[in-house]
A and B are shown apart, each in its own frame.
Chain A
Amino acid sequence: MNLVVNTPIKDNVLEEVKVGDIVYLNGVLVTARDAAHERLLKHGFKLPITLKFLPIFHAGPIVKKTNDSWSIVSIGPTTSMRMESLEYDFIERTGIKMIIGKGGMGSRTAEACKKFKAVHAIFPGGCAVVAAERVKRVLGVEWLDLGVPEALWILEVENFGPLIVSIDTNGNNMFDERIKSINSKKFDMLKNLDRELSSKL
């Protein structure tokens, strides 16, 4: 299923979305990665903006400043798994409805997605110029003292995607299945390694 989602994400629009579906986003998207998660949850800072009903993007862009306005040169997802230990609390505290990143996330995040009706979706990693094209404007930036990659960039996006849903609001987790399949293939491969190597190496 392909779905266009507008922000703020209200009225349970995500509840019909399933793992593997594609979403395109219109509206406001805020970047938040390692340092922003830690500042909110470990160092007790107050968020300078409200994230309720918004999507966040695990990403650190390349930006350009001309006179007083910022533009995004290149912006792609970073590895979501790094935020796994903090994401449950982040979802609970902020009320975000969507997390965009690359690679999957773990069982705690899936639990939070189920409980708070949020989803995780991936944008293909490295496709940062395509993504920058879909950013219409930089609405603002907060916590810039964390450095450009770690700041909260508040973006207006149009047709932002394809976002492939990897955790849905029922807590189904596409990457859980992926990891299980990869590990079982590895297990089978290693079983006969001795015999195989004696003939090849």
Chain B
Amino acid sequence: MDALVRLLSNFIRTVAIRLPDDVLSALKELSSKESSYWGKAVYSLMFDNINLALEKGVPVCQDTGVLMFFIDVGTNFPYVNKLYDALKVATIKATEEVPLRPNVVEPFDEKNTGNNVGTRLPWIEWNIVPEADYVEITLYLAGGGTSLTGNAKVLPPASGFKGVIEFVLDVVSSYGLNACPPFLLGVGIGATVETAALLSKRALLRPIGSINPNPKAASLERILYEKVCGLEIGPQGLGGSTTVLGVNVEYSARHPATLAVGVSTGCWAHRRGVIKIKSDLTYELPLYKGVVL
């Protein structure tokens, strides 16, 4: 268990101090496209910040968020029984050692637990992979400013995709300014409010630049991309042509009487990492080329 905890806490450290490869290349591309005065100044400060964080080995943003783990675990992964405890211990260890900001507040006691562990936090979503002997863990650090944008609503199906687009644009135009743009926009479509909300968060886990395999969902991604860019929110809300890192739509089937839509944003410091751990505790980091934990 010690080796597993060490591996996980080192993974948490990497996610906090280093942006994943897809986010870095998206930011580079956007910064080369942005022509507004403030926009260019903001990008240049962002890259200074990214490099300085790496150099000093400290979190790229002070808000290291609440930790959310999305897990695909094989039923034959030898540490499957230990994984839950290992994640909690690794969270406490990383909070102290990196350090991360203690962000977990118990709502009824108004008390910060000080170690990023609290009731049902870190948040963990489990998927079971039959017969596999590995675990794949996606960690997302959900910062406050970018989580404040989050919203979901159940529309009557007659609202159609027009209603979906209106809802998304209402949310983005009211709160997007504060979500540290350029952000990744995640939209979930489903049967109930919480499934749509969760799918919108899962949409943020998808690689930047990926396209939904359903051609109509892909078309919705494109339409939303154009519209949100057209708002010209710009880097840090100061105006400009680059507002999003991308738009990802995820969906489930719905109920005949409901069309639920969820919206999540992932700020420019989109700290979402993936680790695949095999049965002998060797690992792969698909989003951090060349990085060793």
A→B interface (CB under 8 Å): 59-62, 64, 73-76, 78-79, 81-82, 102-104, 122, 124-130, 132-133, 146-150, 162, 164, 175, 178-179, 181-183, 185-186, 189-190, 193-194, 196-197, 200-201
Q: Number of contacting residues on B, CB 8 A?
A: 57
**Contact sample, A vs B, 30 pairs, CB 8 Å cutoff:** A62-B62, A74-B53, A74-B59, A76-B62, A78-B145, A81-B178, A103-B178, A104-B177, A124-B42, A124-B46, A125-B180, A125-B267, A126-B49, A126-B61, A126-B268, A127-B46, A127-B49, A129-B52, A129-B58, A146-B112, A149-B102, A175-B237, A178-B237, A181-B239, A182-B231, A185-B231, A186-B231, A189-B169, A197-B162, A201-B216
A59 CB to nearest B CB, Å: 7
Task: Spot the interface stretch: B83-91, B205-213, B219-227, B283-291.
Answer: B219-227
Residue among A64, A76, A82 making CB contact with B63, cutoff 8 Å: A76
CB distance from A106 to the nearest CB of B (A): 12
- In the bound complex, residues from chain A placing their C-beta under 8 Å from that of B114 are 147-148
Q: Measured between C-beta atoms, what is the minimum distance from A98 to chain B in Å?
A: 18
CB of B60 within 8 A of chain A? yes
B178 / chain A contacts, CB cutoff of 8 Å: 79, 81, 102-103
**In the bound complex, CA of A194 to CA of B163 (Å):** 10
The 6 A-B residue pairs with the shortest CB-CB distance in the complex, in nearest-first order = A147-B112, A103-B178, A128-B62, A74-B62, A125-B180, A127-B49
Contact B173 A186 (CB under 8 A): yes
Main secondary structure of the interface of B (DSSP, over half): helix
Task: Report the minimal beta-carbon distance from A122 to chain B, rounded to whole angstroms.
Answer: 7
Docked pose: A201 CA to B227 CA in angstroms = 15
Q: Do A200 and B238 contact each other (CB < 8 Å), given the known contacts A102-B180, A103-B177? A: no
* B145 & A128 in contact (Cβ 8 Å cutoff): no
Q: Does B148 belong to the interface (CB within 8 Å)?
A: yes
Given contacts A102-B178, A124-B45, contact A201 B99 (CB under 8 A): no
Please give, as numbers and ranges, the residues of chain B lying within 8 Å of A149 by CB-CB distance: 101-103, 112
Whole-angstrom distance between the alpha carbons of A73 and B62 in the complex?
A: 8
B166 CB contacts on chain A under 8 angstroms: 190, 193
State the total of A-B contacts with C-beta under 8 angstroms: 155
A62-B100, A78-B145, A102-B236 known; A126 and B112 CB under 8 Å?
no
CB distance from A102 to the nearest CB of B (A): 7
Residues of B within 8 A of A104 (CB): 177, 237
Q: In the complex the two chains form, is B46's CB within 8 Å of A73's CB?
A: no
Residues of B within 8 A of A60 (CB): 62-63, 101
With a cutoff of 8 Å between Cβ atoms, the chain A residues found around residue B156 in the complex are none
In the complex, what's the smallest C-beta–C-beta distance from B72 to chain A, in angstroms? 29
From 25 to 69 in chain B, residues with beta carbon under 8 angstroms from any chain A beta carbon are: 38, 41-42, 45-46, 48-49, 52-53, 56, 58-64
